[in-house]
Amino acid sequence: MARQYQLKKGPRKGVSGIDYQAELNEQQYAAVSSAPGPSLVIAGAGSGKTRTLTYRVAYLLDQGVDPKSLLLLTFTNKAAREMMERVRELISLDLSELWSGTFHAIGNRILRRHADEVGLTRSFSIMDRDDQKSLMNTVVAECDIDTKSRRFPKADVLISIFSLVENTGVELEDLLEARYP
């Protein structure tokens, strides 16, 4: 009598060789293996968000997703570096085209790439808060406003006012009346 053999399928492993179900808890695995597309992970400190996000990237790359179609965002440079290091440890593919960084860095990258389409030159610069304060103080000084003898807002307040006008579309006079009577 001939011997019978049965092939058993194990969990599908991509180029990384990671067994995602074995390495992640149930909630992490659900987030990692969800259908390709935008994904938002919200969880408390120490719950494994970074682990989940980096495994998600590895999982998508294992599924054949092109690295240049992925966007991995975080709030700090330190977290962005850490996430990319972890992804590189998980998967040995060329990740140079993967979009990863802080919200500000990615915004800057997009603006530089499309500068001419939004009326900027590619050599534009983005002012940080100190640059803004310095410029605002220069403008106030050049307008010969005597800030010592009469009450006048500091540079930080002026920056906030002009930012609110720009971001809300409210007229300056209306904004001043409503917020700074």
Query: What pLDDT digit, counting tens, does each position of 26-80 carry?
Result: 999 999 999 888 877 788 888 898 899 999 999 999 999 999 999 988 889 999 9
- Structural fold of domain 20-100: Rossmann fold (3.40.50)
User: CA 33: distance to chain centroid?
Assistant: 21
Q: Could you tell me the sign of the dihedral formed by the alpha carbons of 33, 39, 40, 45, in that order?
A: positive
Which residues partner with 74 through β-bridges? 102
Measure the CA–CA gap between 113 and 105, rounded to whole angstroms: 12
What's the pLDDT tens digit per position in 79-133? 999 999 999 999 988 899 999 999 999 999 999 999 999 999 989 988 888 999 9
CB-based burial of residue 174 (10 Å sphere; 0-12 exposed, 13-18 middle, 19+ buried)?
exposed
pTM for the full predicted model = 0.66
- Residue spans of the domains in the chain: they are 20-100, 129-179
Place of tokens 């971001």: 167
How far from 139 is each of 100, 133, 164, 166, CA to CA, in Å? 37, 10, 19, 18
What's the pLDDT tens digit per position in 146-172? 888 888 999 999 999 999 999 999 999
